Amino acid sequence: MHLLEEQGVIDGYVALLNPAAVDLRFTAFVRITLERQDKATVEHFAKEMEKAPEVLECHLMAGSYDYLLRVTVRDLDDYQRFQMETLTKIKGIRNVETEIPLKRIKQTTRLPI
């Protein structure tokens, strides 16, 4: 294990929590379109997402939108608070589209190696 850590194969260790056990039952996938894709706007949005504890994943995308987020909160009201108090206050956002999953089929942290 130590050798794998030194080689950068192992990034770190975590405990996987049951979201429902800590009252985080609501997940949303959020597509963000920026007003511009210039370096300053892209970097500003990324820095804001790094500060948001509700955002478990943030990916800069190629395609029809700029960022894809995975957000986990208590419930729909909590998501609305996050959207109104965090997302809509970030300069440079043109559009926010929220997708709400009905059922999780698969979620893993295992890599296929």
Q: What is the pLDDT of residues 14-50, one digit of tens each?
A: 999 999 999 999 999 999 999 999 999 999 999 999 9
Q: Is residue 6 part of a domain?
A: no
Residue 80 in any domain: the answer is yes
Number of domains in the chain: 1
The first and second tokens of residue 67, run together, are: 């960022």
Task: Specify if 34 maps to a domain.
Answer: yes
Q: Has residue 13 been placed in a domain?
A: no
In a domain, 74, yes or no: yes
Instruction: Give domain status of residue 94, yes or no.
Output: yes
Instruction: Report the alpha-carbon distance of residue 100 to residue 83 in Å, rounded.
Output: 14
Residue-number span of the structural domain to which 46 is assigned? 22-99
User: What percent of the chain is predicted at pLDDT more than 70?
Assistant: 100
Residue 76 in any domain: the answer is yes
Three-state SS across the chain? CHHHHHCCCCCCCCCCCCHHHHCCCEEEEEEEEECCCCHHHHHHHHHHHHHCCCEEEEEECCCCCCEEEEEEECCHHHHHHHHHHCHHHCCCEEEEEEECCCCCCCCCCCCCC
Q: Is residue 111 part of a domain?
A: no
Q: Say what the pTM is.
A: 0.90
Q: What is the pLDDT of residues 93-105, one digit of tens each?
A: 999 999 999 999 9
**CATH number of the domain enclosing 78:** 3.30.70.920
- Render the burial of 5-24: b for 16+ CB within 10 Å, e for the rest: eeeeeeeeeeeeeebeeeeb
